[in-house]
Amino acid sequence: MALRREDLVRLRRVRDRIDRDHAQPLDVAALAHQSLMSPGHFSRCFKAAFGETPYDYLTTRRVERAKALLRRGDVSVTEACFAVGCSSLGSFSARFTRLVGETPSAYRARDHSAAALIPSCVLARAARPSRSVGIGGATGARARPASRAC
C-alpha cells in the first residue's frame, strides 16, 4: 500500500502519541480520528507504515515499559500491570508471556545485572519483544479499546 506523505506525517504523530500516552486508555477510533481516517483505513495504513496494527504496537510498548519496571525489582507484577495502562492482570500476564517468552514473575525474578552494563538505547532495541503470532490486532473497522484488558 503506497502511503501519501501527509498520511505518514499523521501516522507518525499518532505513533508518537501512543509512545507518550501508552498508560492512558487509547482506542483505535480515537487514534483514527486524530489521523483524519476511518478506523479501518487507519489500521491498514498504520500496519503498512509500521509493520503492526495500532493495538499490537500499543501492547508492545506496554510490555516494553513493564519489562523496564520489572527489571528494577522494586515493583510487583500487579503494580507494573497497572502502571503501564493494563486493567486486567490476567490479560497482561498472557500478553507479556506471549511476547517475552516467560511470565512476568519469572522475568522479574531473573538476574538483570548484566543488562545494567548495556546502554539503554541499545538495550531498548535489542530487548524489544517480538511478535511471533498476531495478538489481538484490529485490522477491521471496529474500534478496540486498549484499556479493556491490556
Cα 34-134-19 angle, rounded to 5 deg: 35
Give 10-residue mean pLDDT values along the chain (150 residues): 89 96 93 94 95 94 94 93 95 95 93 68 62 44 45
How many C-alpha atoms does 141 have within 13 Å on its Cβ side? Answer: 2
The per-residue pLDDT for 1 is 74
The per-residue pLDDT for 3 is 85
- Residue 144 near residue 55 (C-beta atoms within 8 A): yes
The rounded distance, in Å, linking the Cα atoms of 120 and 107 is 18
Question: Structural domain boundaries of the chain?
Answer: 1-51, 59-129
Query: What does pTM read for this prediction?
Result: 0.76
The per-residue pLDDT for 98 is 94
CATH of range 59-129; options 1.10.10.60, 3.10.580.10, 3.40.190.290, 2.60.40.10 = 1.10.10.60
Q: What is the pLDDT of residues 58-93, one digit of tens each?
A: 999 999 999 999 998 899 999 999 999 999 999 999
- Residue 62 near residue 71 (C-beta atoms within 8 A): no
